[in-house]
Each structure stands twice: as structure tokens, then as C-alpha cells.
Amino acid sequence: MSVTYIDAIREAQEVLLRDDPRVFLYGQDIAVFGGAFKATKGLAEMFPGRVFDAPISEDAMIGMAIGAALQGMRPIIEMQFADFSSVAFNQIVNHAATHFYRTGMPVPITVRMPSGGTAGSGPFHSQSMEAIYAHYPGVVVVTPATVADAYSMLIESVKLDDPVIFCEHKFLYRWLKAQSFQGDCLPIGQARITRTGRHATVVTYSAMVHEAVRAAERLQKESGWEIEVVDLRSVKPLDIDTVLASVARTGRLLALGEAFPWGGVTAEVVSRVVADGFHLLEAPPMRLNSRDTPVPYHPKLWASHRPTPESICDSLRKLLSY
């Protein structure tokens, strides 16, 4: 029997509710309905009085969570889509993120953000906002790419004392399957070598890990190139040591992400690698992001807006031929 990425998220929440009386869930349509993506299916019935439907008030949802966290609770907030967190932006970056530094009292909230593009979702149900939150001091931003990570990192996120932006990728929800929820349980802040290689390193995270692996497999078959794929797992903190160790082996770096191209995770990765590992590089480090437009609605446009195995292969070929 196989389990999916969304199963992992649901299961982690069940375990958290079961094991930790401080945990409660709050979000739009997450109680009886089980959430827009069914990430909380059945939990309201299993845990009466601990799973709540919220009004359409993202700002207040986060404000509420901050207040609850200050009282010792561990709220998990579901944004219906990451894109809607734009209206909760202030409470996240100015209230939750600054609180520990300002007062010494941490704000342990976990904000689940269904992120990333899927066909036909369009400009307001497809966004990848990890870079926006990671820019701010005080937040932890995690971006699980596997079923096991979705599971263990959600559990770990809730245990962390800092506010966590949990970017779960909608494309992976039902598409990504595994035999179980168990994995290597790497801690947040540690990257993983998803695929080893020696000719180039692709540093990426979330759904793009799988596209990178596909591209790597294709290049291996086609021309014998061995591409290493590093899954950052969390973009803040960002495990530059694992990245540097990989680049030390391969000498070549492609930073890959699905978010908009200006700034973002790929720029941070490249900047850190060149700062500390300039001498390791045998070719200019490259970046591949989405195109610099809103995420288009039509599947044909969408498929060419985000990086694909084809465009990743193209970038890698360029990188390898330098």
C-alpha cells in the first residue's frame, strides 16, 4: 500500500494532535469539510474541539495564532492557498517574525502554505512565496519535497519554537507516493543529496527536486553525465555546507526553483556558493527559475512558465559545456 504527500501532511497532523495537547488546527474549511485539499480529513471528528473553521480573515488567523502561541499553544494554521497569505503578510513578518528578537519570547506557530503551480490554477493559486518569507529575520521556511519529509518536517516544525512557514507543494499532493511516511528524519536546516553525481550539482527544493532528478536521468541516459541533485529541504535556514560539499565534488552549480526569477532562493544559493566556494567552481554558476510574469492560467502557458526537465537539461548542457 502506498501513501501520498498529502497523506503525510494529514497523518503528521493526526500524530501531533494525538501526542501534544498544545496543538490545534485553524483554517478555512478544515473542520467538517477536511480542508480544500483534504489535509485535515476526519481530524475534526477524531479530535473534537481542536480543529476549527476560520472566517475568511487571513490576517486575523495569524494574529490569533500568535496570541495562542504566546499562551503556550502550538497552532497549525492552514492557508487555503499560499497566495492568500499575502493578506496575512503583516502579521507573519512583522508580528510573528520579530517577536522573539524584540521580547525574548518565541512564537511557535506553523503556517501551512499550499504552494506552487499546478495546471490551470492560474496567477492566484500557484504562487511560491518561500523567498518572500525567508527574507525576513526570525522565520523558518521549509519546503519538503518527499512524502517522508512532508511528514517528519511538519512534526518537527510544530516542535520548533520559531514561526515556521511550511511550504507544501500542491503538485506533489497526490502525485507523489511512497511506501511509508518513514524516512531518514534529517532535521530542519539540513539538506539532502537526493541523487549523487560528479559532473554538476543542481540545488533545488520542493517539487523541482523531482524535475531535476528527471532531467538528471535523461542526461545520464543521453550522454552519460552524472548530475548530483541537492534538496535544500529548508530554504531558511539554508544548509550551505552540504551545497558547498557537493559543488566541491562537481565544480558546477545550477540553482533551480519554481518561483519568480528576481531574487529568491536561487539567488541566495548562488551568492553563498560564490562567497564561500568560488575556487571550487569550474564554470559560472547558473540559475533557472520561472519566467518573469504572473503564473499563467492556461496549462500550455503554465507548462512553459516553470522549469521543466527539458529546460533543466538545456541549462545543464550549457553548464557542462562551459
Partner 1 sequence: MYVAMIQARILESKLSSLYKAGKIVGGVYLGKGQEAVSAALGAVLIPGQDIYAPLIRDQAGRTAFGEPFIDCARAYLGSSLGPMRGRDGNVHRGKPGEGVLAMISHLGSAVAVVSGSLFAKRLKGELDGVVGATCVGDGATSTGAFHEGLNFAAVEKLPLVLVVTNNQFAYSTPTSRQYACADLVDRAVGYGVAGHSVDGTDFLACAAVIGDAVSRARAGEGPQMVVARLLRLTGHGEHDDAWYVPEVIKAGNYGRDCIDVAESQLLVHGIMSREEIEAIREQAAVDVQAAVAQAQQEPAPDPYKEVWQAWSTGRFYAEKE
Handedness of CA 237, 238, 242, 245 (dihedral sign): negative
Member of 20, 38, 67, 175 binding partner 1 (CB under 8 A): 67
Number of C-beta neighbours around residue 198 at 10 A: 14
> Binding to ligand TPP by residue 32, rule CB under 6 A?
no
199 is catalytic: no
* Positions that interact with its own copies (CB under 8 A): 59, 83, 86-87, 89-90, 93-94, 97-98, 101-102, 123-124, 131-132, 134-138, 236, 238, 255, 259-260, 262-268, 270-271, 274-276, 278-279, 281, 283-287, 291-294
Q: Where are the alpha helices (DSSP H) in 160-278?
A: 172-175, 208-223, 240-250, 264-277
Binding residues among 231-260 for partner 1 as defined by CB under 8 A: 237-241
200 near 175, Cβ under 8 Å? Answer: no
- Cα distances (Å, whole numbers) of residue 114 to 92, 104, 118: 16, 30, 11
When CB distances are held under 5 to 8 angstroms depending on the partner's kind, the choice from its own copies, partner 1, ligand TPP, none that residue 268 binds is its own copies
End-to-end CA distance of the chain: 45
Of the two residues 8 and 36, which places its CB atom closer to ligand TPP in the complex? 36
**x/- map, 15-44, partner 1, by CB under 8 A:** ---------x---xx--xx--x--------
Location of C-alpha cell 499553544: 73
Q: Does 56 help bind ligand TPP (rule: CB under 6 A)?
A: yes
Closest residue by beta carbon to ligand TPP: 84
Nearer to partner 1, 200 or 273 (CB): 273
Q: How far is the CB of 129 from ligand TPP (least distance, A)?
A: 14
Query: Whole-number minimum distance, CB 176 to its own copies, in Å?
Result: 27
Q: CA dist 71 to 14, 23, 68, 99, 192, Å? A: 22, 12, 5, 14, 35
Report how far residue 220's alpha carbon sits from residue 197's, in angstroms, rounded to the nearest whole number.
10
Residues marked active site are found at 125
